[in-house]
Structure 1
Amino acid sequence: MPKLPASFSPPSLKSLSDLDSAEGVVYQQQRVIIDGVVSPTCQGGLRGKTQDYEVHSFTVAAWLKAGEQVRKTELDILRAAASNTKYLYDFPGCSLQRMSVLMSGDETRAIYEKSLPMETANPDLLAIAEELKKPVTVVAGRFGTLTLDRRIDHFDGEAIWNGEKTKVTFRSKDGKPDQAAIENSEKLWSNEFHWEKRIKVIAVEDLLELKNENWSDEDDPEFTAEEFVKRMTLQTICVQNDGRFEFWYDDGDLFSGHSIVVRGSLEKGIRDASIQG
């Protein structure tokens, strides 16, 4: 039997429900035992109310209480974790887990108390876990075969922009790529030369001075606009269903490895450029 994840009780918390800082959430009085399939979506961690713990957040994609049918609804779980530990690896995506939790009144949230051994797994949960492991692909014209990245619930593909192959991403909607986002991407690509020119202009306007004044040594020669844009290498284009878009660039070490992001929309044009990461 695999080793069970460790439980942790911060001395600063008087009750399990104190772990949840969301307003208006009411928790039940009694703990319950559930079996669940851990979602493959990304897990998170935040600082607790005091420095003696952090809050690990993850989701189960389907779950059940003893003697009940499987619920194919997501349950968000919060868990106290000791600071400076690798708690994000305790509950792998698509794994089956049995745990004692304190449920919210509407049973959409839960506070983790401890893990329990699972000698026999529910066959319906096992089937759901296997289904979540299967790749989901959709063919989408110029964007090729889109593949669902379950960690962030986005579909990824590739396309040629300005003569170079780049990654494109679309949000998932009902398990498929958002069709409105794909249609907006077609509009973006239909005027590719115009957008490419404006992107480089805004990147220079917003970031060249920052580079020369704050991200260079005193003896370094100043970058020209031409030298600046030559360092930028397009990595990903993200388009939303409302026409907003983001172009993510490798900075070519202009900003010590930070990404350059140019944002805009089909309706209002290029908005700004910034560094991220």
Structure 2
Amino acid sequence: MLQNGHHMKLINKIFGNEFKLHQQTTEATVNGESKTITLKEYSKKVRMFGLSVTVAFDPENVKIDLNEYIQQVEKKIKDISKRKNQIEKRISDKLLALKNSTWLEEGENKIDEKKFINKLLLESVQFHEDSFELYFEDGNLFLGHTIIYSEDKNGNLIDVNIAG
């Protein structure tokens, strides 16, 4: 495992000093023993889907060379941005019927695909070793829940769901 300073040096080299390490320490009981756990995440803001979006990953989950992983993340960000319409359509295909069948407020009319998609606002992207998740504000489609879209590294849809 590389030292944190070395992680940061690699990331700064590739992301132009924008990627920042965030650490949070917490106490937890594991098998009856109190332990201090440090959670680490690298994140930065990028422009995607016309919005300022947080891109993040946990370095502890990276199983390949960190430099190679970061290069893959950069390529994937560009790919995701190019596929905006396809991703939004997949979300609509999965959740529009649910919205219109069980999430309409009293007196609210059913909405069409265009209105549904226009309410989606990308907030963040979380990268994992073999997949990623996009987190969208729902534009109050589902009473303020988050919409989570996930794909594997080959572009295959894993799931679309609501949370929170």
Corresponding position: 1:253 with 2:135:
no
Q: What's the CA shift for 1:158?
A: 1.0
Corresponding position: 1:231 with 2:119:
yes
Q: Any unmatched runs of 5+ in structure 1?
A: 1-135
Q: What's the CA shift for 1:178?
A: 4.2
Work out which of the residue numbers 38, 48, 51 in structure 2 matches 1:164. 51
| Matched position secondary structure for 2:135 | strand
Percent identity (aligned) = 22
Q: Any unmatched runs of 5+ in structure 2?
A: 1-6, 25-38
Point out the structure with max Rg over C-alpha. Answer: 1
Q: Give the whole-Å Cα distance in 2 for the aligned partners of 1:194 and 1:149.
A: 29
Task: Kindly report structure 1 stretches of 4+ aligned residues shifted beyond 3 Å.
Answer: 140-144, 177-181
Residues 84-134 of structure 1 show CA distances to partners (whole Å, capped at 9, x for unaligned) of xxxxxxxxxxxxxxxxxxxxxxxxxxxxxxxxxxxxxxxxxxxxxxxxxxx
1:140 and 1:214, CA in 2 relative to 1: closer, same or farther beyond 3 A?
farther
Map 1:3-82 → 2, pairs under 5 A: none
Q: Give the whole-Å Cα distance in 1 for the aligned partners of 2:13 and 2:96.
A: 37
Q: Give the whole-Å Cα distance in 2 for the aligned partners of 1:249 and 1:167.
A: 11
Corresponding position: 1:139 with 2:12:
yes
**TM, length-normalised to structure 1:** 0.45
**TM, length-normalised to structure 2:** 0.73
CA contact (8 A) 2:49 2:122 kept: no
Residues 217-260 of structure 1 show CA distances to partners (whole Å, capped at 9, x for unaligned) of 35311011111111111110111222x01000111111111100
Q: Which residue of 2 aligns with 1:212?
A: 100
| Matched position secondary structure for 2:108 | coil
Q: Which has the higher helix share?
A: 2
The aligned amino acid for 1:145 is E
Work out which of the residue numbers 191, 210, 216 in structure 1 matches 2:79. 191
The aligned amino acid for 1:183 is Q
| Matched position secondary structure for 1:184 | helix
Q: What's the CA shift for 1:156?
A: 1.1
Give the structure, 1 or 2, with the largest relative contact order (CA under 8 Å, sep 6 or more): 2
CA contact (8 A) 1:143 1:159 kept: no
Q: Give the whole-Å Cα distance in 2 for the aligned partners of 1:143 and 1:260.
A: 30
The aligned amino acid for 1:247 is L
The aligned amino acid for 1:148 is L
CA contact (8 A) 2:23 2:40 kept: yes
Q: Which residue of 2 aligns with 1:266?
A: 153
* RMSD, aligned CA: 2.5
Q: Give the whole-Å Cα distance in 2 for the aligned partners of 1:195 and 1:266.
A: 14
Q: Which residue of 1 aligns with 2:34?
A: none
